[in-house]
Structure formats: structure tokens, C-alpha cells
Chains A and B, each alone.
Chain A
């Protein structure tokens, strides 16, 4: 096996080829795949390149950058190096016919995106010159298994890009390259892939290529580590030790294109002001930038436009004059397409079939400077286009500006701005998570934030069901269901039924549709609409957690600017969703638990109600019988006993609702009631517990409660409060040593009513005064005596008392054990929820 290196790690604009080849050679790589366009390779001199390669004993594997035509012209008659290709259409077929070797490269966010795209082309075209160049990281990003993908077309491999990646930094066209990491440190199965390749004898002469799009380390450091990884994993490098760099020269300053030959004061000022505006509001940054560009160039029209990840959409982020309504552009607008490779000045004329050129021409412009801005993290992609249109007399300004310098500075500033805005957006989500404790409240807040931050008219949030079989609306106020989803009780998106929401979920891929009404598959489009007016630009962003699970999808409809959503919008929403994922997970589990409790309560309550009702009906009938037949009363109150047990069950199922985290479950439904009317039924309900423990309910003294006025209390909540306190007194009684006593007494001050609950039981250890009220706390006595319980009773008691504006504390640990409840005096005149 042979190991080669790709030169993208030095950036596509770098033209210090000598230095790159020195490093590649010096670190023991045998071959090189060049990622700079032919114009940068010794000024397009292929003979010179072959000489330099030969000096260093390096094999040229392929050319990755530049138009197909330019690369073929560069190679001349040499058909050995392969040419990257993203598709296999007319141009590529012509190259194949001319004998050039093409390497189909599955590359996330490019035309050959998933292995299935490559399968389709490789299966259809059997040309021996059409080769397969898989990349382990890209395959992993889009959900393909690298080994299976390599195995299927192993006879047609041009090589294998061994690359590692972690999803921590995101999956978007902007950011995915941030996730490329040194070999062996990410989540791609590169070691398994290498082992598979080594095990197959038919692949012993295969080329393994190390490529890195973006790394925070220096290229040399990254390559040195890669070389070490190959050696450590049984692929010897050409010179063991991989330290023999060609000596005698240091690299040129990089990037050389930034060296200014001439300076323009106003240009420097522009760059400084753009940098200053970078940290701040996303929309303000672009508005300010077009204003500054207008001033620099004295332009008639300035536009900054975002280009989709496969150049399949164009969205104007800002236009000067502000509020100018520019026409929507087709994905392959001829003016922009022409400029995507490098900055250029274009003469406008009527024949230029671009609505943008036409708009500028109508404003009196005669020339345009188009500056493509690549993404710092993904230099393969032209992310933004600056279009400046001027009149004839201002041409000199266009000529004087160093467009490459502008592109580089503006690109950096735009990246900083987006990162900053995303950070703010994620912080807002985190803040919302601290305020909202239930799923519906949180998703509503996230929904509001998305609408505001990407300036969308509509938004729906869907979450996957527990069994992952469908997407259910978590917050979707403007949702319009279409067949087959509008059947009663069936308002969800089922896995496998094609629409853009489920596609984003199943593929875990974000997507922008510039105009959904223009989709040819009307059935799919219709199922994917949001109820908003206009051209229906739509955006679908999956909610993917760092482990790769897709929790759901966010769909947005129509930007308020009337422009399509851009990749930046996807990045903003994705960052927000990544911040939301941990909270969504927790809240979804809590929501499922609450639903389960509610269902359990419902299931238990109906039979209990039926028992209680039937007891009452039976009592009614027996009374009639006994009266009519003059029968003696029964020897024991059987029905009273059954009723008591049923009432106990009814009370306990009612307590389940207080386990809820939903604040609404703890909102008191107060009625004016005396405490005696609450405590008496509790003592009756616990009659069987008293008997079970050899105690008598007559040991409970609560007559003093009569001295309190009636209070506005939720009867059920306070029944639960006293139920738990009395039940604890029973469980922890000390009957073996003394007669059981439980005394409820009352007192009142100017501001509060005080109820003390004292028993002479085993007591509570010192130091646990606060802990006994914590959720799930079980004291040493509970564990030692094996007393039944789950540690939730006093936690519930505390929450219920506090829901009434009161407090409870353990005021004496032993002899007596004393709990004190303090209730505000205002409860004698109004409900707890009514404030001053």
C-alpha cells in the first residue's frame, strides 16, 4: 500500500507549491493529490510540475481543483493523473471519451453526496476510466458505512481518502469541516477501514490519501501526526521516522496573495470597519457591509448574496440601496456562476441574461465587480458573493481594489459574525431552558426564538415518537395537514411516507427549498407545507444529537425578506437545536413520564370510582331492604371497611399527580375549608394502616384545628400533606416503648397560621432537617427498619405547602418529632394564587 497526501491542508489559494512538495516528500509520503487549481501550479506549467515531482520522487495521483476543461488542458497528453468529478454528465463523458481518468468523489454537500449517488453513477457507467474515490469521513457524515461503501466497488478504486471526523462541531456545509480531526481521534471507523483494506490482497497496491480540509494545527504538524498514525497501524512510510525534511529553505510568507502591492486608504478603512461590525447582529453586519461597499466604490447597486451548499439557491442577505427589492435569482444565475471561481470585473450589457445584471443596468451601472467569498472552514465552497455595480466614470475604483484581499477579510469577518450570532442564539436557547420546565413551554420558546433569529414567518417543531416510528408535532401553531395525515387521530408524519420533513429526519440532513411551490413532485411538496402566504421558501433542519440520533425536525417557512433561506439560516437553527438537544431529551422523558402517570391515574381511578359508587348503591339498597323487612343491622360494618380501603386507594392515586414537574399540576384549586374537614377524612382513610401497625386512630388528637378559621386551600393537596405526615408518624412509631401519640396543634401570629404536628415516634437524626424534604431521600431509620417508601412523601408535602405560599420545616427531631407548617394569614380571605 502507498500513502499520499492532499495539499488542501495548505488552502486552495496557496501557490507555494515547492514548499508543499518539500513537506510531503520530507514526511515520507510517496504521492500527492493537488488541491490548487492549475493556474497556481507553477503558473500552469505542467512540465515544471513533473520535474519538481520527479526531484522529490513523488507520484502525482490527481488534480482536485479547477474546471474540468482547465485541468485537461493542464495535463495535455498525460492521462495518468485522475481528475475529481462530482457528477457524470456531458462534460465528464467527453473527458472519459478522450481517455482521461475521472475519480468520482462522494463528498458531503456536493452532487455525489451519499454512497447511493455514487452507486447510481458507477452502476450505470461501466467505463474503466471512471473510478471510485471514497472518503471515510464524508461517507460517515452522510450516514454510509465506509467499509461497505469501499467494498462494493473495490475493483474501481482510484484510492481511498482516510479521514477522521467528529460530529461535535456540527454537520452543516459551513461547519462540518470544523469537525475533521487528526486520524484516530474522531468517530470514523478508519482503523477498521484500514484493517479491511490490508486484509484484501487485491488491494495491496492501493493508494491511501490523507486529506484535511481544516485543522487548528499547522499543516506540518497535522501531516506529521498522520504519517505517525500510518506507521503505528502497520503501513510503513517511505522513510521510517518521517523526519527527513528537505533542508535549506523556509516557506514563503503565507498566504502570498495577501501581500499588497498597492494600498488604498479607503479600502483599509473599509476592511477595518467590516471587521469591527463582525461581532454583533447578523443582519446589521450585512446591512453595514453593503453601506460601506457602496461608499468605497461609489456604487449604483451593491448586493451580498448567500449561495446554497450545492449552488442550488441564491439568497440576497443585504442590498444597497437598503430595502431595494431585487428579483429572486435562479440557482445558476449566469452572472454569479461566471464569478464563482475567482473575482472578476464584468462588463454589463443587455445580453447578459441575469436579472441581477438587468437590475443594475436599469440603475445606470455599466460594470460589475463580483467577489466570491469562500468559507474559512470549507474552502471548496463559495459561500457568499459580493456584487458591486458601478457606472463608467467610477471604473477606476474597481481596478484599484485588491479583490482577493477583500474576499479574504470579508470571509473571515462573515465567519466570525456567523459564529458570534450562533453563539448568541445558542445562549438564548440555554436561557429559555432555565425558564421552561415542561416540553410544550420549552418548544414554544425555541419556536419563538427561531422565528425571530432567522426572520421566518412560520415554524413547526416535530419530535420523534418514543418508538421512533413517526414524527409528532411538538409545537406547530400554523401547521396544515394534508392527506394522508389529516385523518382523525392521525396527525403525525409516519416514517417512510415521502415528504420533506420525514426526509430530513431519516437522512439527518438539513435542506433549503427556495420555492416549494415550484417542486415537481407536488404530492411531496403539498405534504410539506406550512400555512403562510407567499412563495413558500422552506427550510428543514434535523435535530441531531452528538451521538448521531435524530430527535426530530424543525421546518421553517418564508423569510420575511422574501428571499429564500440560506445556509447561514440552517447554521443558526442547527446551533440552536444543538443547544436545545440535552433539554429536549430530559423534557421529553419527563413528558413521557407524566403521560404515563396520567394514564396510570386514569386506569386506576375508573375502577376505584366504580367500587365507591357501587358501595354507595349497595348501602342504599340495603337500607331500603332493612327498612322494609325490619332486618337487624349487620354485626360488622363490612361496607364501611371496603369503602375505607377504596378511599385509601383513591387518595394514593391522586398523589401521583403531585410527582409532576408541570407547574400546572401544582396550581391549587382552592376552596374555603376548615383544616378539620381535611384531617378527619385522612385519619379515616388511614384507619387500616393504624390497625396494621397495632395502633388506634383515636390516638390522633386534632380537635384544636377547630379553632382555626376556614382557609382557602386545595382540599386534595392538603389531604395529601396530612396523609403523608400522619402516615410517617404511623410508620415510625415506637409502640414497643411507649404509647403512641400524634398531636396536631395550632397557633397564629399577626401574619401566619401555624400548625404543629408532633409525635412520640423514633425521631429523625440531627443534621437531616433539610435533607428529609429532598426528592428521593430515605433516612437511616427508613433503611434500617426496612420501612416501605420511596422518599417522595415529604418532598411532595413541601411542594404542596409552598404552592399555597406557606412553608414547612422540621422544628424538633425527637421526643417529640415536630413538623411545623406556616400558612399566610391571607389564605383566610382569598385563594393562594391571588396576589396583593
Chain B
């Protein structure tokens, strides 16, 4: 059976600074689609034919259509809000990786029990690690076998 490329949606408001991640995933055989804002990500989330097997979100981005959050005036948790929107509004269950500059403690604590999401610190996450994490998350869960 011909192996099909894994299709990944990569959302980051600084796509040039962070292009090394999509580039590294691409090198390792994944198909990466970059969207540089919350609003463009939401457009993708709304697609009927959602073509992505995994979603990578920057943790800290301008909130765009999500609107201001009084508890998060500096938009440190936009990625988490976007992740919630994907699950709760669009009903998508694909694996999600939140990339954070600070491995933000609150994000870690709240999402620690959710096996469909991982929070990774950019400082220690190289493209190979990101690639491996996606494959791990896509692999069938032992309990489901």
C-alpha cells in the first residue's frame, strides 16, 4: 500500500521566524499547510473536508475573531482557546500540539489529562522531536486495539 503523506495544519503568527518547523516536517515526509492567523485557522477548522490529520498551534497569538479574554489580556493562551474551539465548536478530534515559548504552566496543568493534545516548549523541541510526537499521537492507542 502506498504510504500517504501525513497532512499537518501549522498555525503561527510569525510563520517566517518559525518556518524551520514546517520545513523540518516537510523534510521528514509530512505535508504542512501554514496559516498565519487565528482567523485563517478558523476558516480551515470550518472546512467540511477537514484535510488535516494533525494540528500544530502556537500558544501565544493575537486573538482575532476569538475576541479579547479578560483573563488573558496578553493573549498568552490563544492557542489553548483555539484548541478548545476546534474540539467544542467544530467537533474535530485530530491530535493537537501547542507550541509554547514558556511551556505555560496553566496550559500544562489544564491539559495534562487530555491524550489528544500535547504542550511542547519551543526551546527544547526540535523538528525531529515534533515529527516523532505527531507520529506517536497518530499511532493507534494500545487500549483501542
Contacts and interface: CB of A to CB of B under 8 A. Distances in A.
B126 A616 contact: yes
Interface string B68-99: 10100100000000000000000000000000
B106 to A, nearest CB: 9
Contacts of A654: 123
- What band does the interface of chain B fall in when counting residues whose beta carbon is under 8 Å from A? 20 to 34
Interface in A654-680: 654, 657, 664, 667, 669
Which of A605, A610, A620, A667: most chain B Cβ within 10 A? A610
20 contacts: A488-B68, A489-B62, A489-B63, A489-B68, A491-B70, A491-B73, A601-B101, A602-B60, A606-B122, A609-B18, A609-B20, A610-B17, A610-B19, A610-B20, A612-B126, A613-B127, A616-B127, A616-B128, A667-B105, A669-B103
B134 to A, nearest CB: 15
Which secondary structure dominates where chain B touches chain A? Answer: loop
Interface in B91-145: 101-103, 105, 108, 122-123, 126-128
A699 B67 CA distance: 56
A617 B27 contact: yes
B20 A617 contact: yes
Contacts of B28: 620
Q: Does more than half of chain A's interface fall in helix, strand or loop, or is it mixed?
A: helix
Interface of B: 14, 17-21, 23-24, 27-28, 60, 62-63, 67-68, 70, 73, 101-103, 105, 108, 122-123, 126-128
A606 B127 contact: no
A621 interface: yes
A602 B58 CA distance: 13
Contacts of A605: 101, 122-123
Contacts of B17: 606-607, 610
A51 B103 CA distance: 88
A164 interface: no
B8 to A, nearest CB: 15
A617 B101 contact: no
A479 interface: yes
Interface residues of A, number: 26
Contact of B127 (A617, A650, A667): A617
Contacts of A479: 70
Interface in A480-495: 488-489, 491
A68 to B, nearest CB: 52
B123 A488 contact: no
Contacts of A612: 126
Contacts of A613: 20-21, 23-24, 126-127
A614 interface: yes
Contacts of A601: 101-102
B40 to A, nearest CB: 16
A639 to B, nearest CB: 13
A564 to B, nearest CB: 28
A606 B17 CA distance: 7
B70 A617 contact: no
Contacts, number: 64
Contacts of A606: 14, 17-18, 101, 122
Interface string A32-60: 00000000000000000000000000000
Contacts of B102: 598, 601, 657
A211 to B, nearest CB: 49
A446 B138 CA distance: 49
The 10 closest A-B pairs by CB, nearest first: A613-B20, A616-B126, A609-B122, A606-B17, A617-B24, A614-B20, A488-B68, A610-B20, A613-B127, A605-B101
A669 B101 contact: no
A610 B123 CA distance: 10
A714 to B, nearest CB: 11
- Chain A CB within 10 Å, residue with most, of B18, B21, B126: B126
A607 B14 CA distance: 11
B101 A602 contact: yes
Contacts of A607: 17
A667 B109 CA distance: 13
B59 to A, nearest CB: 11
A613 B12 CA distance: 16
A466 to B, nearest CB: 15
Interface centre among A489, A605, A613 (most CB of B within 10 A): A613
A491 B68 contact: yes
A598 B104 CA distance: 12
Contacts of A621: 27
Nearest to A667: B105
Nearest to B26: A617
Nearest to A654: B123
Nearest to A487: B68
Given A609-B123, A616-B127, A664 B105 contact: yes
A479 B71 CA distance: 12
Contacts of B27: 617, 620-621
A650 B87 CA distance: 34
A602 B127 CA distance: 19
A719 to B, nearest CB: 11
Nearest to B126: A616
B18 A610 contact: yes
Contacts of B105: 664, 667, 669
Nearest to B103: A669
Contacts of B108: 669
A491 B28 CA distance: 44
Nearest to A598: B102
A654 B103 CA distance: 12
B20 A488 contact: no
B102 to A, nearest CB: 8
> Which residue, of A479, A489, A598, A650, has the highest number of chain B Cβ atoms within 10 A?
A489
A610 to B, nearest CB: 5
A614 B23 CA distance: 9
Contacts of A669: 103, 105, 108
Contacts of B24: 613, 616-617, 620
B96 to A, nearest CB: 20
A383 B3 CA distance: 86
A491 B67 CA distance: 12
Contacts of A609: 18, 20, 122-123
Given A489-B62, A667-B105, 17 more contacts: A479-B70, A488-B68, A491-B68, A491-B70, A598-B102, A601-B102, A606-B14, A606-B18, A606-B101, A609-B20, A613-B21, A614-B23, A616-B24, A617-B24, A617-B127, A620-B128, A669-B108
